[in-house]
Amino acid sequence: MTTMGQFVTRIDDDLARAIDQLVEEGVFESRSEAVRTSLIATLDAHRRIKLGRETNEGYRRVPETDEELRLAEAVAALMITAEPWDDAPIDDAAG
């Protein structure tokens, strides 16, 4: 069973009203859920940014070889060819 910590914080009235509006609209079940969800999203975004930076740094330290790039392009081309493009509906609004 996961234990839950408790944070006590202050927010301005406009932010509280905005959160309450989201709860009223059914976006969140409660203020607590809104705060938890927002914190999780913030932490996930930070994790993804950090991972992207680390990945980029890794490729700077050890760049792909020409052969690896050729293979990646070949696999991408095969994946595109394998897509059922003819079965996709055409969106008239897209033009």
User: Over 25-86, what HEC string results?
Assistant: CCCCCCHHHHHHHHHHHHHHHHHHHHHHHHHHHHHHHCCCCHHHHHHHHHHHHHHHHHCCHH
69-92 residue pLDDT tens: 999 999 999 999 888 876 666 666
pLDDT at residue 88, rounded to an integer:
63
1-58 residue pLDDT tens: 789 899 899 999 999 999 999 999 999 999 999 999 999 999 999 999 999 999 999 9
Q: How far apart are the first and last CA of the chain?
A: 53
pLDDT at residue 2, rounded to an integer:
84
**Domain-wise residue ranges, the chain:** 13-86
